[in-house]
Amino acid sequence: DNRRPAIVAESRQQAAGLYAARETREWQTMDAAHHLHPFSDMGALNQAGSRVITRAQGVYLWDSDGNKIIDGMAGLWCVNVGYGRTDLAEIAYRQMLELPYYNTFFKTTHPPVIELSQLLSEVAPEGFEHFFYCNSGSEGNDTTLRIVHQYWRAKGQPDKKYVISRRNGYHGSTIAGATLGGMGYMHEQMPAQVPYIVHINQPYWYAEGGEQTLEEFGLARARELEAKILELGADKVAAFIGEPFQGAGGVIFPPANYWPEIERICRKYDILLCADEVIGGFGRTGEWFAHQHFGFTPDTMTLAKGLTSGYVPMGAVALKRHVADVLIAAGDFNHGLTYSGHPVAAAIAIANIKLLRDEGIIERVKTDTGPYFQQALREALADSPLVGGVDGAGLVAGIQLTSDKASRGRFENAWEIGTLCRDFCFKNNLIMRATADRMLLSPPLVINRSEIDELVEKAARCIGLTARELG
């Protein structure tokens, strides 16, 4: 313990001296020369030059030109405890010295992965007692598929092979993750998709609800699952997977009756219900897991992002006892990753979960900052002619842009409108994401009231600038 200040000082010094000080242009040129960016038009990006983020603290980022930017997206929905937590850095440093790596194959284990699993079983809802580790949300969903298939094989029902997911869902970018997701623009770039994965429609009332009430639409969209099960045959369907709220698809909150109906249908036809909690997990809605907000109980949960608050990569699949029991009794499970349960990632995850719990961060999202944010955002946007509605709970929100408030009008060039708004955000040092004509916010869970005021004021200003530009 005497060494703690020294360790922190030392690691700060090292980080500060890690890279040469360069001009922004030089970094951009090097970046364009050698770095291929995810989900980007790389040619266009190379021309324009990427923004270079050099450091971060709390809810703020700084770029290489010294701009201070408020991060309304917690990175990619992941930096739940905020930036700059020296306690997480310190744990990583100490764990690296103690045991930087060992695997969990071949009858071995280690303290960090044991302690993490125990801790997860304490914070997860009743019955989630077993955890399988990987490195990302995509791998988590691949792992979920592997587990689902092994489960039904072990139960003597190997014909239960189909997994049903939703259009405009997002489950990652591996081949299986992209297949599970319902993003047409990703499917188009693949010669084939993983077989036995089929999609039903999403519960996006604003765009697809027509004349139906929210309740009628919620039931109708949930019952598409039943229709699909009957079409395929219940004895052929293994699982349904969905995000409790669609994140990348636009922070789409389903009508309140949607998930209870989905759950009823899964139980009726003996289909596993898999929740992709990669975004929703670890406090985003003010509950530990988003399915708790929506009032249903899945059989499996995919976890990543907030598990380590993005400080290092880690993903996991949480299994309810009845699923784990089957898997454990089934003999060899031929799946695993070199870094399954990585000790440094596990050590950070433990420290991160303790921060979320012991500093009352999630509790504050539920009782204070979440309701404050939701109300402030709705009030600030209430009079905007461009805003058709706001979805959200806790510290996540989707703002629907509309061409006509009264008729829920949609822009034909929805992606251009969202991009226009996002460009205003960029210029105003606000990170707000656009998915077509929806603007998304998901700030670090440690954001305080005055930072929320700033975030909301900037978001409203940028939406106002967009409205003015559109005339």
Residues at the interface with ligand PLP (CB under 6 A): 76, 136-138, 141, 170-172, 243, 247-248, 276, 278-279, 304
Q: Which is nearer to ligand PLP, 305 or 320 (CB)?
A: 305
- Least distance to ligand PLP from the beta carbon of 438, Å? 15
Q: Which is nearer to ligand PLP, 94 or 187 (CB)?
A: 187
Count of other CB atoms within 10 angstroms of residue 260: 15
Handedness of CA 426, 428, 431, 436 (dihedral sign): negative
> Of the candidates 409, 352, 399, which has an alpha carbon nearest to the alpha carbon of residue 379?
399
Q: In the bound complex, which residue of the shown chain has the CB atom lying closest to ligand PLP?
A: 137
- Least distance to ligand PLP from the beta carbon of 143, Å? 11
- Least distance to ligand PLP from the beta carbon of 66, Å? 29
- Least distance to ligand PLP from the beta carbon of 100, Å? 22
> Of the candidates 182, 416, 244, which has an alpha carbon nearest to the alpha carbon of residue 401?
416
CA distances from 427 to 42, 59, 397 (A): 21, 18, 21
> Of the candidates 126, 198, 211, 127, which has an alpha carbon nearest to the alpha carbon of residue 167?
198
Contact assessment for residue 432 and residue 425, using Cβ atoms and an 8 Å cutoff = yes
Number of alpha carbons in the 13 Å side-chain half-sphere of residue 95: 23
- Least distance to ligand PLP from the beta carbon of 387, Å? 24
Q: Which is nearer to ligand PLP, 14 or 338 (CB)?
A: 338
- Least distance to ligand PLP from the beta carbon of 305, Å? 7
Q: Which is nearer to ligand PLP, 103 or 173 (CB)?
A: 173
> Of the candidates 336, 334, 182, 312, which has an alpha carbon nearest to the alpha carbon of residue 246?
182
- Least distance to ligand PLP from the beta carbon of 329, Å? 29
Query: Residue 365: left if φ>0, alpha if ψ -120 to 50, beta else—which one?
Result: alpha
> Of the candidates 403, 393, 459, which has an alpha carbon nearest to the alpha carbon of residue 436?
403
The Cα–Cα gap between 462 and 456 comes to 10
- Least distance to ligand PLP from the beta carbon of 358, Å? 26
Q: In what order do the strands lie in the sheet with 60-63?
A: 53-57, 60-63, 68-71, 430-431
Q: For residue 55, what are the contacts with CB-CB under 8 A and spacing of at least 6?
A: 61, 62
Q: What angle do CA 84, 33, 189 make, to 5 degrees?
A: 90
Tokens of 424: 């205003």
Q: Which is nearer to ligand PLP, 89 or 134 (CB)?
A: 134
- Least distance to ligand PLP from the beta carbon of 315, Å? 6
Q: Which is nearer to ligand PLP, 116 or 220 (CB)?
A: 116
The position carrying tokens 């039931």 is 219
Q: Which is nearer to ligand PLP, 272 or 278 (CB)?
A: 278
Q: Which is nearer to ligand PLP, 80 or 138 (CB)?
A: 138
Strands (E), 370-451: 387-393, 396-401, 430-431, 433-435, 438-441
Q: Which is nearer to ligand PLP, 175 or 234 (CB)?
A: 175
- Least distance to ligand PLP from the beta carbon of 161, Å? 22
Q: Which is nearer to ligand PLP, 279 or 452 (CB)?
A: 279
